[in-house]
Amino acid sequence: MLATTYRRPYRVRAARVPEPVIEHPDDAIVRVTRACICGSDLHLYHGLVPDTRVGSIFGHEFTGVVEEVGANVRNLKAGDHVLVPFNVFCGTCASCSHELYGNCENVNPQATAVGGAYGYSHTAGGYDGGQAEYVRVPFADIGPTVIPSDIHVEDAVLLTDVVPTGYQAAEMGDIHENDTVVVFGAGPVGLMAARCSWLMGAGRVIVVDQYDYRLEFARRFAQAETINFREVDDMALHLKKMTDWRGADVCIDAVGCEADGNFMQTLTGVTLKLQAGAATALHWAINSVRRGGNVSIVGVYGPTFNAVPIGSAMNKGLTLRMNQASVKRHLPHLIEHVRAGRLKPRELITHRVPLEEVDEAYHRFSAKQDGCIKTLLIPPRAGRIDPPTPVARPPSTHLH
Amino acid sequence: MNQATDHSHIPDWGVDLDPAKRPAVPMERTPPRLDGLHWDRPSQQPRTVEVLHSIERPGITPVFGTSAPPKGLSGWIRRRAFRRSESDLSHWMLLLLADRVNVAEGLADDVRRSPRARAAAFGLAGAALALWVLRRRRT
């Protein structure tokens, strides 16, 4: 089969590899219909995540058709079209029993600090990913969700990570009515976090990035105020002035370990790798939020350490909340939002390319060329997908 | 609370204002709302390839990925890395070193498998040898 294989930093290849097989009676094999390149895939692509092995298959955002199921699988059958949350999780461990599916204890032998994820290095369990024609899906009875007939496949594929991660970013900010929310990073997750902040009653939403095309997108997609940090001398000072010298109520780091904007952070974190990436956005978040405010982190950092002003966080009495999204717990609610048109995730997709062109697609996304926000990959054996069929439903009151 | 402002231009503003409507509030929620579960604990996946595990846990997990098992010099380094805990910085630095060695192994593998890359490698080696011979003759 064709798959996106890692070769070296800044180089992936669409290569022929053996097809996956059932390795556990709770597994399924899924034929991928759509896959996306995530911003966090770029950390792998740039060689920043430890234990990223040559030949491993990338991709943790995908939908697909079930081709084969293991002996114990009861709830899925061949032919089901499913979206697969990026978390691999068992459903029964201490974390899963508290709905913390991104922190499952039974799926990642290599690192106790990290849960399991598809196509995200051996530090996340060594699972092959979904930027391929086929993928092995463990715990098929609880992970995948059958795509409702009225949900577009391009919305479905973004429900595997981008939408829940953006929503959870806003949720962890504990937004109250008329709060001022600052989102660092205008990538797909940051844009979704900005949009979700309004749903939670924010009074102002400000998005910070360095690319004008992304800021323009943020104004249109998320009705946000925007700041290009290249045009600002001091980010924290600028935000204090914008907020009557108090600071924002909530700051969201949707950038992670490859932030630009601070020479020393970039030198020590990205170039020399003396810390687990450049924590510039997190530094700004801590210094820009008000006393007693909330900082929410969904940007991905490496497992070693980062230089951040933790003393200021302590003295300001901040609440820091962070986690990988627990996708499955959010899905019923977010499917309702998509169905009702409150969230329109597929508007984020700017590029649709065949899987064979994945190397160029990664390069374009990494270099921020051609107005790239989100790239959708279409495998050669994706097959025909029926358009969504509108279903008449009573207004939903099931919002948890 | 901050001063109220007009949000009429924001579609669906505040539909999740009530924290009770937010699916991850509270953060830890039990019992989980998870359909389809029919095991008390997951059964053990047979080990068909070498799987390294953190020494911060007693052994491998019931389920694991089998992508790219450790091999070669990079595999040797990875095995040494996994003798140290995740709390030990050298664990992660050794893994990053193994990744770079693995890249060199991958390039060598490409040369072995691809006739074009092999021809290019032989061409480069031949040119280097010829240059070396020419320089020796001049001296």
What is the C-alpha to C-alpha distance for residues A32 and A23, in angstroms, rounded to an integer? 18
A199 and B33 within 8 Å at the Cβ level: the answer is no
Chain A: nearest CA to B80, how far in angstroms? Answer: 13
A126 and B65 within 8 Å at the Cβ level: the answer is yes
Confidence check: pLDDT of A399 > 50: no
Name chain A contacts of B55, Cβ cutoff 8 Å.
none
Q: Looking at the complex, does the CB of residue A7 fall below 8 Å from at least one CB of chain B?
A: yes
Chain A: nearest CA to B124, how far in angstroms? Answer: 21
Confidence check: pLDDT of A112 > 80: yes
Distances (CA, A) of B107 to A48, A150, B68, B73, B112: 19, 46, 15, 14, 9
A111 and B54 within 8 Å at the Cβ level: the answer is yes
Confidence check: pLDDT of A396 > 60: no
Whole-prediction pTM: 0.93
Chain A: nearest CA to B19, how far in angstroms? Answer: 8
- Predicted confidence band of residue A393 (pLDDT cuts 50, 70, 90): low
Confidence check: pLDDT of A357 > 70: yes
Residue A283, pLDDT score: 96
Name chain A contacts of B110, Cβ cutoff 8 Å.
7
Residue A46 is encoded by which pair of tokens? 């740039």
CA angle centred on B109, ends B104 and B114, rounded to 5°: 130
Q: Point out the residue among B10, B25, B38 whose CB comes nearest to the CB of A171.
A: B25
Confidence check: pLDDT of A247 > 90: yes
What is the C-alpha to C-alpha distance for residues A135 and A130, in angstroms, rounded to an integer? 6
Q: How much of chain A, in percent, has pLDDT values that exceed 70? A: 98
B30 and A99 within 8 Å at the Cβ level: the answer is yes
Q: Point out the residue among B36, B67, B70 whose CB comes nearest to the CB of A128.
A: B67
Q: Do residues A131 and A119 touch, judged by C-beta distance below 8 A?
A: yes
- Predicted confidence band of residue A362 (pLDDT cuts 50, 70, 90): very high
Residue A104, pLDDT score: 97
Confidence check: pLDDT of A155 > 50: yes
B12 and A342 within 8 Å at the Cβ level: the answer is yes
Nearest to residue A351, comparing CAs of A37, A132, A43, A14?
A37
DSSP secondary structure, B35-96, as one string: TT---SSPPPPP--S-----TTSSS--SS---SS---HHHHHHHHHHTTS-TTSHHHHHHHH
pLDDT digits (tens, 9 = 90+) for A10-50: 999 999 999 999 999 999 999 999 999 999 999 999 999 99
Top pLDDT among A141 and A389 is at A141
pLDDT digits (tens, 9 = 90+) for A56-80: 999 999 999 999 999 999 999 999 9
- Predicted confidence band of residue A148 (pLDDT cuts 50, 70, 90): very high
B14 and A201 within 8 Å at the Cβ level: the answer is yes
A110 and B52 within 8 Å at the Cβ level: the answer is yes
Can you count the helices (H) and strands (E) in chain A? 11, 17
Residue A392, pLDDT score: 66
Mean pLDDT calculated for residue range A159-166 = 98
b/e sequence B8-36, b meaning 16+ C-beta within 10 Å: eebeebebbbeeeebbbeeeebeebebeb
Residue A398, pLDDT score: 47
Give the number of beta-carbon pairs within 8 Å between A and B: 231
Instruction: Please give the ipTM for the structure prediction.
Output: 0.92
> Which amino acid would we find at residue B49?
V
Residue spans of chain B under pLDDT 70:
1-4, 139
Mean pLDDT calculated for residue range A333-340 = 97
**Number of residues written out for chain A:** 400
Name chain A contacts of B106, Cβ cutoff 8 Å.
7-8, 54-55
Q: Do residues A86 and A327 touch, judged by C-beta distance below 8 A?
A: yes
Calculate the average pLDDT of chain A.
95
Chain B: nearest CA to A5, how far in angstroms? Answer: 11
Q: What is the helix (H) or strand (E) element at residue A11, kind and residue range?
A: strand A11-16
Q: Do residues A347 and A5 touch, judged by C-beta distance below 8 A?
A: no
- Other CB atoms within a 10 A radius of the CB of residue B139 amount to 4
